[in-house]
Amino acid sequence: MGKPTGFKEIKRQDLEHLPPRERIQHWSEVHYSLSEEVLRQQGARCMDCGVPFCHSGMLLAGMAMGCPIKNLIPEWNDLVYRGLWQEALERLHKTNNFPEFTGRVCPAPCEGSCVLGINEPPVTIKNIECAIIDRGFEEGWVRPQIPKKHTGKKIAVVGSGPAGLAAAAQLNHAGHAVTVFERADRIGGLLMYGIPNPHLDKKVVQRRIDLMEKEGVTFKTKTWVGKDYPAKKLVREFDAVLLAGGATNPRDLKVEGRDFEGIHFAMEFLAANTKTLLDGKECEGYISAKGKDVIVIGGGDTGTDCVATSMRHQAKSVLQLEIMPKPPLERAANNPWPQWPKVYRLDYGQEEAAAIFGADPRQYLTTVKKFTGDTSGNVQSAHLVQMEWIPDGKGRFVPKEIAGSEKVVACDLVLLAMGFLGPEGDVLRELGVDQDSRSNAKADYGDYATNVKGIFSAGDMRRGQSLVVWAIHEGRGAARTIDKYLMGESDLSA
């Protein structure tokens, strides 16, 4: 514990963000970096708890608490306070292959479980993590770690999102020959095409991919396993296969008028926008929100990214619908520390919409009952209805329409950001992999082996839609399992 009284003397200081009206004019990341002196002070706020919950990575009453990858948070907080940045980077990389990703897009369950957070604002763990890795790249401390031995074993990883990349990095470090298959034209999965640039600059993603290539990982883009590359060919050509294709089957809204033009899944909108930016020209399937009345249906991170992207397109108006109630300003009684605090937050997209349109664009306890369109088949309006959650007699709460609450709003672009139902199942069926009741690849947590010998699964494809940090955790765990399967034992950390 570097400064025993730090948590008493120093207040939390978050990243400063560019003004909303300024940042919607470009696609760069939206925040300033903190100075080294401020970061060292923020590290001094860490109490180095005897029982630190920040890196517990557990579930409590079904809710996550602490960091799933068990980052050694108190250790690198102390090292930053002491100015030992390179040592802090070494600690960080012991548990996290990609802190530059989690330091930007993770909601920081570690901070929700910080002991200081019981009665004070928690330590700025996420900001310190991001600063450590960014400085590591700037100083040249992050260099290719080329394996000193080669086992002769070949492993195929299907999917280049955070789970697939984490597994590939670990297995490559163990000396195996790893090939990552990606159906898109760029590596990164949702890191590349699912999260917009203001939230995660693609140069940050490409920087890590280039490093992994130098370390020996082989990447094959535009290779759709199960379509233009037979899935069974993987089994013949590789000693082990990891399925990490994500949960890419979006949840639809089955209401009257759903088939009108102008109603799209969120990922169609976000992926085409990012590809257009990266290619420098409008790509096939590009969807513009410029001058349109936009409705975003769904209140999670993807919904926020749709709002932020629409703001940069100069939408005429943006409305975001959330069927759930508005979260409280402070923890509810049934959401105690150290669980992740389910409280009201104004994220970057909503902050931008509020700056332009005068209010948070979210309407809670609201959904769409039907869409209407014009004679050309284009969506023209949405019929909204307010909802309430009532007990169903079995201890569960279910949504019910409030009679007489219907209203009609204009829209000519609707983005469905209601989450994902599970993976696309073609590869699983071709390989004979069992699926669970939610259509995910059936493989036990911690083991990651499917019913088919030599085939494993991790990340959203196994657990369902989740966080980047959970995907990294599962990718690392699957790598250890695969290494042990091939070699009889493993020195890889999960």
Residues of the chain with CATH 1.10.1060.10: 6-139
Nearest to 125 by CA among 135, 115, 111, 136: 111
Q: Using CA atoms, how far apart are residues 298 and 98, in angstroms rounded to an integer? A: 28
Please, where in the chain does CATH 3.50.50.60 lie? 154-248+421-487, 252-418
Region 305-321 average pLDDT: 98
Full-model pTM: 0.96
The pLDDT score that the predictor gives to residue 4 is 87
Interval 194-204 mean pLDDT: 97
Distance CA 244, CA 440 (A): 11
pLDDT at 57 over 90: no
Judge whether residue 226 has pLDDT over 90.
Answer: yes
Please write the tens of the pLDDT for every residue from 63-113.
778 999 999 999 999 999 999 999 999 999 999 999 999 999 999 999 999
Mean pLDDT of the chain: 96
Mean pLDDT calculated for residue range 206-211: 98
Over residues 21-51, the pLDDT tens digits come to: 999 999 999 998 899 999 999 999 999 898 8
Distances (CA, A) of 387 to 240, 268, 409: 49, 28, 17
Beta bridge pairs of residue 363? 321
**Residue 1, pLDDT score:** 65
Sheet-wide strand order for 413-416: 263-265, 413-416, 293-297, 317-322, 362-364
The values of phi and psi at residue 432, to 5°, are 75, 25
Helix, strand and coil content of the chain, in percent to the nearest 5, comes to 35, 20, 45
CATH number of 6-139: 1.10.1060.10
Token duo for residue 369? 């009952």
Instruction: Note the pLDDT of residue 184.
Output: 97
User: CATH code for 252-418?
Assistant: 3.50.50.60
pLDDT beyond 70 at 423: yes
Domain covering 154-248+421-487, topology: FAD/NAD(P)-binding domain (3.50.50)
DSSP 342-360: ------HHHHHHHHHHSS-
